Structure 1
Amino acid sequence: MSVIDKRERDCAAESTGLLEQFPEQRCATGAAGTIGYREAGAEHANHALPVVLLHGIGSGAASWVRQLDALGASRRVLAWDAPGYGVSTPVHGASPAAADYAGSLNAWLEALNIERCVLVGHSLGAIVAGAFARAAPGRIAGLLLISPAGGYGSSPAATRESRRDARLGMLAELGPAGLAEQRSGNMLSPFANEDARAWVRWNMARIVPAGYAQATHLLANADLASELEGFCGHIKVAVGANDAVTPPTECQRIAVAAHVELQVIAQAGHAGYVEAPGSYSTLIESFCRQCDTQRSAS
């Protein structure tokens, strides 16, 4: 470990300490390959709906460590490394669609014998969650989209290509460490403390370039609003008031597509669950409890 890398870990010491309580696990899923993930609260599997956390394009399972700690006290919580991230097997093809990632998600949940869950998608993870909701709505007890990325699939081809190529060019020029140094600040609000900033940088610096490149194509190809058409399950859309990546004005379009009111969380940026973990853990747990109640009523 380099001196700089050690300093980053030390700055985020509390998060790193928690991370050691939820070590990386690996699950063989057959044709979809291996999925890496972290888990908490397995002992509650028979008492409440499990909740599955899907990270964004510049992150990973480790970024959800505070939610694993908080939510795991009352229910089973799982955070995956998306295909192409960590040790997870990439999806097939250089320019995949959301359905490809949803297929890997389905295979992972099948392998873990999770028949039904609450699905939480952050940013690009919301696109995967939306595709899964379209493909397997009966397996979702609730869909919570946090700072959802809408994708550029409905944009003109020139727009899709320019956004895609700009991100790929930045990856090629800077690499993961450079991206973390230059882009991580956009993920947080002015209210974030240095520990949160260090933790976002630490996670972003560990992206796998090939997986990030595939996810960049996914972002260019996807259209979350269209994926949500026809989904009649329990759904909520939330965003930080200070989100500069997927601002409230953009998330409002997703909320309209989902036929719900957008919830705006004060003093939070794009990675609000990192900088304001208490508020976001409460948001997720409250939503999960609503889903628990609906399951009991049915």
Structure 2
Amino acid sequence: MSDTAVIDAQPLPAAELARLDARFPARSVPVQGGAVVSVRECGAGPAIVCLHGIGSGSASWLDTALLLEGEARLIAWDAPGYGASTPLAAQAPAAHDYAQRLHGLLDALDITSCVLVGHSLGALMAASAARRGSPLAARISRLLLISPASGYGAPGRAQARARVHAERLAALAELGIAGMAAKRAGRLLSEHASETARQWVRWNMARLHEAGYRQAVELLCGADLLADLPPAMPARVACGALDVVTTPEACAEVARQCGVPLELLPEAGHASYVEQPAAVAALLREALAG
């Protein structure tokens, strides 16, 4: 993203924020242990639970949720340390720590069956919840991983792990949350994205909390997605065809581990559900139909 693009970037219109508050409002749900999880939801019917990535939040699922409003109950959380959600206790939490908090949320919402969706870093959390032997596996009917992050915790990835850890925290120290949103958000979308999609991605990233983001960096660097795959239930793996963050080549390896073909979303980048919510809503309809 060029410096000129950063300077010329327009803020999210007030009408969009009003739409978010009216159609997909946030609320805090108390869970076991005295923590709270901030969620947004709309619709009625079978439950779809959506987990966002490292630079995003629950609001990013707005348009996908509205497209499914008459067919499903879509619930999007703010991960621990994001939005109004209580951070995890550990400074360097593992994927199973996030899965345990998700378990508490499903208990609190009395959800006994759901389609679970993990985007990017959220895929690490979702896969841990859906792995064979997980106490949550029986409550997940289908798993959908969108542009999944594989993590850097696998044996033999120590050099890449150290590099990514240093780069992420150096960017945070140099730019701060607001600077990261201004300079890095554009990488999450393709050249085909609308200006409104770009505004949403920047808005979501600008609302990160440093503590939650630091915990998420530790998860990214310490987790190994492939070790939790294949899951205990049917899965699908999708990726924007123009994703430069978790590339189609990397996502294809995740799909192979799940024993399914990779499904490409044409003319979409990393944040495909923000850029092309109709395409992602179609995948979710198919998951609901089994």
TM-score bin, normalised by smaller chain: over 0.9
- Give, in whole Å, the separation in 1 of the partners of 2:162 and 2:20: 40
2:130 equivalent in structure 1: 133
For the 8 Å contact 1:18–1:66, the answer to whether it is kept is no
Could you say if the C-alpha distance between residues 32 and 121 of structure 1 is closer, same or farther in structure 2, counting changes exceeding 3 Å?
A: farther
- Give, in whole Å, the separation in 1 of the partners of 2:38 and 2:222: 25
TM-score under structure 2 length normalisation: 0.92
1:58 to 42, 55, 59: 55
Q: Structure 2: any 5+ residue segments left out of the alignment?
A: 1-6
SS at match of 2:214: helix
2:184 equivalent in structure 1: 183
**Deviation readout 1:101-123 (Å, 9 max, x if unpaired):** 00000001011110111001100
User: Following TM superposition, by how much is the alpha carbon of 1:89 offset from its aligned partner in structure 2, in angstroms?
Assistant: 0.6
- Give, in whole Å, the separation in 1 of the partners of 2:166 and 2:34: 27
2:3 equivalent in structure 1: none
2:208 equivalent in structure 1: 207
1:22 equivalent in structure 2: 24
2:169 equivalent in structure 1: 168
For the 8 Å contact 2:12–2:196, the answer to whether it is kept is no
Letter of the structure 1 residue corresponding to residue 283 of structure 2: L
- Give, in whole Å, the separation in 1 of the partners of 2:262 and 2:200: 27
TM-score under structure 1 length normalisation: 0.90
> How is 1:87-166 mapped onto 2 (pairs within 5 angstroms)?
87-134=84-131, 135=134, 136-154=136-154, 155-166=156-167
* Mapped pair 1:279 → 2:279: yes
Query: Which portions of structure 1, spanning 4 or more consecutive aligned residues, are displaced by more than 6 angstroms?
Result: none
SS at match of 1:8: coil
For the 8 Å contact 2:130–2:232, the answer to whether it is kept is no
2:78 equivalent in structure 1: 81
For the 8 Å contact 2:10–2:199, the answer to whether it is kept is no
Letter of the structure 1 residue corresponding to residue 276 of structure 2: A
1:293 equivalent in structure 2: none
- Give, in whole Å, the separation in 2 of the partners of 1:111 and 1:149: 28
Choose 129-138 or 58-67, whichever is displaced more: 129-138
- Give, in whole Å, the separation in 1 of the partners of 2:17 and 2:241: 24
Could you say if the C-alpha distance between residues 217 and 236 of structure 1 is closer, same or farther in structure 2, counting changes exceeding 3 Å?
A: same
User: Following TM superposition, by how much is the alpha carbon of 1:19 offset from its aligned partner in structure 2, in angstroms?
Assistant: 4.1
SS at match of 1:217: helix
Structure holding more helix per residue:
1
- Give, in whole Å, the separation in 2 of the partners of 1:148 and 1:222: 12
SS at match of 1:31: coil
User: Following TM superposition, by how much is the alpha carbon of 1:233 offset from its aligned partner in structure 2, in angstroms?
Assistant: 1.1
Letter of the structure 1 residue corresponding to residue 79 of structure 2: A
Letter of the structure 2 residue corresponding to residue 181 of structure 1: A
- Number of residue pairs aligned between Structure 1 and Structure 2: 279
1:245 equivalent in structure 2: 245
**Deviation readout 1:223-251 (Å, 9 max, x if unpaired):** 1111114x241100000100010010000
- Give, in whole Å, the separation in 2 of the partners of 1:105 and 1:164: 25
Q: Percent identity?
A: 47
User: Following TM superposition, by how much is the alpha carbon of 1:14 offset from its aligned partner in structure 2, in angstroms?
Assistant: 3.9
Could you say if the C-alpha distance between residues 32 and 55 of structure 1 is closer, same or farther in structure 2, counting changes exceeding 3 Å?
A: farther
* Mapped pair 1:8 → 2:8: no
User: Following TM superposition, by how much is the alpha carbon of 1:76 offset from its aligned partner in structure 2, in angstroms?
Assistant: 0.9
For the 8 Å contact 1:18–1:69, the answer to whether it is kept is no
User: Following TM superposition, by how much is the alpha carbon of 1:7 offset from its aligned partner in structure 2, in angstroms?
Assistant: 5.2
Could you say if the C-alpha distance between residues 156 and 278 of structure 1 is closer, same or farther in structure 2, counting changes exceeding 3 Å?
A: closer
- Give, in whole Å, the separation in 1 of the partners of 2:34 and 2:261: 36
> How is 1:213-228 mapped onto 2 (pairs within 5 angstroms)?
213-228=214-229
